[in-house]
A and B are shown apart, each in its own frame.
Chain A
Amino acid sequence: MKKDKTRFTADRRMFLKGAAVAGGAAALTAVSAAGLVEPAAESDTESDSGAADKTASKGYHETQHIKDYYRILRS
């Protein structure tokens, strides 16, 4: 993976405020989606650690959903 080398600069034309941050690692997406680099171990552990994280964060940890996603990608 060449993720360390790749940067997405913020001088692109973007429509929405904040979108550059959401897409900051666009190259990582490409790597994940194309090469299907499944971040299994680390994510599983994190997700299993409980519901507290879920409520405390504005994101979410739903590992099963992500597993579903990778399964679809492989199909």
Chain B
Amino acid sequence: MTEQVPLSVGPAIEAGDAARAELYVLLGTLLAGPPDEAILDMLLEIDAGESDATPLTAIWQALQTAARDTDPEQLAEEYFNLFIGLGRGELVPFASFYIHGFLMEKVLASLRNELQQLGFELQEGISEPEDHVAALCETMGMIISESGLSLEEQSAFFQTYIASWMGQFFAELGEAQSADFYRAVARLGQQFLEIESQYLSMQV
């Protein structure tokens, strides 16, 4: 299916919130699987802005350089080495692993409960648990754009399921031996989480 998604989020969401939601989903997309040509092209089309516009500007530019210097075949190999591997990848991109040291632990049970209450469901054919980094990025994006949860509630979800481990994950991704394109993704993720953390902490 190659249906195009319209350029809109929820009808009642302000542009800044739409931007937050979309950036979470973009991170989710980059972490759910190796980007294909269409996603690389999309990254290259981004107007990264003036060089000193925001802390994110240089990071976007680095991501574009990384996208220009790679291709889907290289990315498939990089993604495999980082997250899948023979036996396991260099990183284990699950909240449960970072928080408890093992997969499928308590945080996953609690997350499943939250997702059920929110009415969010995994796509058919997805075999990874819901605490995969990509799933959590998508979830946060959907919480912002679709759920109508208040900022206080968003903050609670963020603190429990994202801030508690994802910063460390991005730090390790940025240092991973197999990472090249994904170093740039890691920098984007780290910086964005810092911004989110500051923003959400101001609202509670």
Contacts and interface: CB of A to CB of B under 8 A. Distances in A.
B19 A47 contact: no
Contact of A58 (B10, B19, B122): B10
Contact of A14 (B3, B13, B29, B45): B29
B7 A3 contact: yes
B28 A19 contact: yes
Interface string B1-22: 1111111111111111111111
Contacts, number: 237
B85 interface: no
B86 interface: no
Contacts of B42: 6-8, 26-27
Contacts of B38: 9
Interface stretch (B102-110, B133-141, B157-165, B179-187): B133-141
B69 interface: no
The winner among B12, B33, B36, B151 for most chain A CB atoms within 10 A is B12
A59 interface: yes
A24 B138 contact: no
A51 interface: no
B8 A68 contact: no
A12 B137 CA distance: 15
B39 A57 contact: no
Nearest to B132: A15
A34 B142 CA distance: 21
Interface string A1-19: 1110111111111111111
Given A26-B26, A34-B46, A70-B16, A16 B123 contact: yes
Given A3-B7, A11-B2, A17 B17 contact: no
28 contacts: A2-B47, A8-B5, A12-B33, A17-B123, A19-B25, A22-B21, A22-B22, A22-B138, A22-B141, A22-B142, A22-B144, A22-B145, A22-B146, A23-B24, A25-B9, A28-B7, A29-B18, A32-B18, A33-B23, A34-B48, A35-B47, A39-B16, A57-B12, A60-B14, A61-B14, A65-B151, A68-B203, A69-B195
